[in-house]
Structure 1
Amino acid sequence: MAAVKPRLVLATHNKGKLREFRELLRGQIPGLDVDTQVIDAAAAGAPDVAETGVTFAENSLLKARTVAAATGLVAVADDSGLAVDVLGGAPGIFSARWSGRHGDDDANTALLLAQLADIDDAHRAARFVCAAAVAVPGTVSGTAFGPAAGPASGTAAGADGVAAPAAFGLRAAEHVEHGELPGVLLRAPRGDGGFGYDPILVPDGLCVSCAELAPDDKNAISHRGQAFRKLLPYIIAALERN
Structure 2
Amino acid sequence: MSATSTSRPLTQSTSQKQWVLASNNKGKLAEFTRLFAEADLDVTIVPQGQLDIDDAIEDGLSFIENAIIKARHASRISGLPAIADDSGLCVPVLGNAPGIYSARYAGEHGNDSKNNEKLIADLQPIRAAQLDTAIKGMFVCVLAMVRHADDPLPIIAQGLWHGEISETAHGDGGFGYDPLFWLPELQATAASLSAADKNSISHRGQAIKQLLAQLPL
TM-score by length of 2: 0.85
Q: Please list, as runs of the form range in 1=range in 2, the aligned pairs for 1:178-193 lying within 5 A after superposition.
A: 178-193=158-173
Give the Cα separation in 2 of the matches to 1:39 and 1:88.
36
Per the TM alignment, residue 233 of structure 1 is displaced from its structure 2 partner at its CA by 3.5
Q: Pick closer, same or farther for the CA change 1:194–1:66 going to 2, 3 Å.
A: same
Range with greater deviation from structure 2 (118-127 or 64-73): 118-127
Compute the displacement of 1:121 (Å). Answer: 4.2
SS at match of 1:199: helix
Q: 2: distance between equivalents of 1:72 and 1:195?
A: 31
Paired residues, number: 199
- Greater helix share, structure number: 2
Which letter maps to 2:136? Answer: A
Asked if structure 1 preserves the Cα contact closer than 8 Å seen for 2:134 and 2:165, the reply is: no
Higher mean alpha-carbon deviation, 38-47 vs 21-30, is at 21-30
Q: What TM-score do you get using the length of structure 1 for normalisation?
A: 0.77
In 2, Cα distance between equivalents of 1:45 and 1:173: 26
Please state how far the C-alpha of 1:30 moved relative to its aligned partner.
4.4
Q: Which one-letter code corresponds to 1:136 in the other structure?
A: R
State whether residues 80 and 148 of structure 2, in contact with CA within 8 Å, keep that contact through their aligned partners in structure 1.
yes
Deviations along 1:40-65, one digit per CA (max 9) or x if unpaired, are 22112211111111010110011011
Per-residue Cα deviation, 1:173-232 (whole angstroms, up to 9, x for no partner): 411111111111111111111100000001252210000000111011101111111001
Matches of 1:77 and 1:51 in 2, distance apart? 12
CA distance, structure 2, for counterparts of residue 226 and residue 19 of structure 1: 16
1:78 alignment partner, one of 85, 110, 114: 85
- Alignment partner of 1:205 is 2:190: no
Cα offset for 1:171?
Answer: 4.3
* Mapped pair 1:177 → 2:157: yes
Distance 1:207 1:9 in 2: 37
Kept in 2, the 8 Å contact 1:136–1:172? The answer is no
Distance 1:63 1:204 in 2: 34
SS at 1:103 equivalent: coil
Counterpart amino acid of residue 117 in structure 1: Q
Counterpart of 2:85 in structure 1: which amino acid? D
Structure-2 change in CA distance of 1:13 and 1:213 (3 Å): same
Where in structure 2 are there 5+ consecutive unaligned residues? 1-13
Q: Give the C-alpha shift of residue 29 in structure 1.
A: 3.4
Q: Would you say the 8 A contact 1:11–1:40 is kept in 2?
A: yes
Tell me the equivalent position of 1:126: 137
Match for residue 3 of structure 2? none
* Structure 1 residue aligned with 2:148: 137
Name the SS for the 1:77 alignment partner.
strand
Partner of 1:117: 124
CA contact (8 A) 1:199 1:211 kept: yes
2:103 aligned with 1:96: yes
Which residue matches 2:66? 59
**Who is 1:69 aligned against?**
76
1:117 deviates by 1.7
Once superposed, what is the RMSD of the aligned Cα atoms?
Answer: 1.9
Task: Give the Cα–Cα distance (whole angstroms) in 1 for the partners of residues 143 and 183 of structure 2.
Answer: 20
CA contact (8 A) 1:96 1:105 kept: yes
Mark the runs of 5 or more structure 1 residues left unpaired by the alignment. 139-169
